[in-house]
Amino acid sequence: MASSKQSGLLGILMGVLILGLCAMAFAGIFIDEWTIYKGQVGNGFIESDVVTSFTDYSETVMGEDMKIEDFEKLEISFNKDDSAALMKTMVAFGYIALVAVAALTLLYLLKMLLNVGVLRFITGIVGIAAIAVGAILIGVTASYCSNFVANISIGTVLSGELVMGLGAYLAPIGVMGAGVAAVVGCARK
């Protein structure tokens, strides 16, 4: 009897954790700091940071009106030499990550309410997929930042580098964390 209560408590805790991590993933996507271009002139004499949001990248790839039909423009390519292809891939996996974490949250809540074996299995599979999508998103974003066209360094005279912002960390970590919590929650009844 005590083991049943402990596994039920673990399931509830994982459900609450998944809800929080889902909110973290959505906040990461919609925060205004996906990447930061750090520029410096003259050994720190003039410094400037240009912040770009995920929405800005999305509008660049799909246009400003972003209709459902525009998602066909997203193509996945892991060609690290093509900055435009990496940007499209980053946007595509950003949207895939949002869909994965939202579906995972709904499936886990249904699993908690219905407690059907098949639903536990499906939720576990979606959790594993969410872990993979989050890892790919953070990898593609890091690759895009490191291979950015305007990354320059001319001694101490001029330097510029694109780095990942807060949103680029929050979203993938939220998606991967929700996936891990779902797998742990599904491993036990």
pLDDT digits (tens, 9 = 90+) for 94-142: 999 999 999 999 999 999 888 788 999 999 999 999 999 999 999 999 9
Residue-level pLDDT at 16: 94
Q: Which residue has the higher pLDDT, 156 or 48?
A: 48
Beta strands in 30-181 (DSSP E): 35-41, 46-52, 152-154, 158-164
Q: Are 94 and 139 in contact (CB under 8 A)?
A: no
Residue-level pLDDT at 110: 92
Residue 18: alpha-carbon gap to chain centroid: 14
Compute the distance between CA of residue 45 and CA of residue 118 in angstroms, rounded to an integer.
62
pLDDT digits (tens, 9 = 90+) for 164-182: 999 999 999 999 999 999 9
Beta strands in the chain (DSSP E): 35-41, 46-52, 152-154, 158-164
pLDDT digits (tens, 9 = 90+) for 18-69: 999 999 999 999 998 999 988 887 766 677 788 999 989 888 887 766 655 5
Q: How confident is the model at residue 1 (pLDDT cuts 50, 70, 90)?
A: very low
Indicate the Cα dihedral angle 140, 143, 148, 149, nearest 10°.
-100
Q: Which residue has the higher pLDDT, 75 or 158?
A: 158
Compute the distance between CA of residue 95 and CA of residue 103 in angstroms, rounded to an integer.
12
Residue 4 neighbours by CB distance under 10 Å:
9
